[in-house]
Copies of this chain bind each other. A is one copy, B any other.
């Protein structure tokens, strides 16, 4: 028998919400969302992130445009950008008279993890308040323009953009997309490549449809997502951020 409790049920029910009613996120709700982010586990209790609350409507429109033209980024009641911040602590070290090394790739990945872990606590907190949320991964695109818009110095990298608000009834009623079966993504001890037959079965089980066409579905998804302009731009842009750390 699967275990149920309030927390597990909320984690299971949570789904991305991209359309919001006109209701605001109240200051108390915003504070609870941020507090949950702060309470997240963080490496050495360093909080290797800075959170930008994007309140300026013009900046929201700019970000909506830079994030693959998604108007919801401008329209959402609350929009937070979680930045992996590899700058605060070295600045503090120097202020204290130390001479720290330059930030490296390990610092970036650790801060990316810190920022995403905090972001997910914000999502969970919002869900508990009846608020919907959506990650916008496209914030990784257009590094030069995003840096300019958010005044990001070196060693500060966008990890996640999150929007929050009250879901419309239609959004709240949408089904949650199916996940892979556990055996497709969990393995004992070492990483095994799935055989092609297993991969086909994994995707068919996830689709749930009797007439699932693996070849057509994966080719279309590859063209629409993985080989899309925005996906290629994301890797170009991410490489710009990485340069600081290499």
Interface residue from B29, B39, B187, B194 paired with A14 (Cβ < 8 Å): B39
Residue of B nearest to A242 (CB): B105
Contacts of A38 in B (CB 8 A): 179-180, 182, 185
Contacts of A223 in B (CB 8 A): 98
A95 and B199 within 8 A (CB): yes
A238 and B109 within 8 A (CB): yes
B7 and A96 within 8 A (CB): no
What distance in Å separates the Cβ of A46 from its nearest Cβ neighbour in chain B?
8
A20 near B: Cβ within 8 Å?
no
B10 and A7 within 8 A (CB): yes
Interface residue from B50, B91, B113, B140 paired with A191 (Cβ < 8 Å): B50
Chain A interface category by residue count: 35 or more
A237 and B186 within 8 A (CB): no
B93 and A222 within 8 A (CB): yes
B88 and A218 within 8 A (CB): no
Contacts of A226 in B (CB 8 A): 89-90, 93, 100-101
Q: Which 3 A-B pairs have the closest CB atoms?
A: A104-B235, A106-B234, A96-B218
Contacts of A180 in B (CB 8 A): 38, 47
**Stretch in A69-77, A114-122, A165-173 touching the partner:** A114-122
B39 and A16 within 8 A (CB): no
What distance in Å separates the Cβ of A5 from its nearest Cβ neighbour in chain B?
5
What is the CA–CA distance of A234 and B10 in the complex, to the nearest angstrom? 35
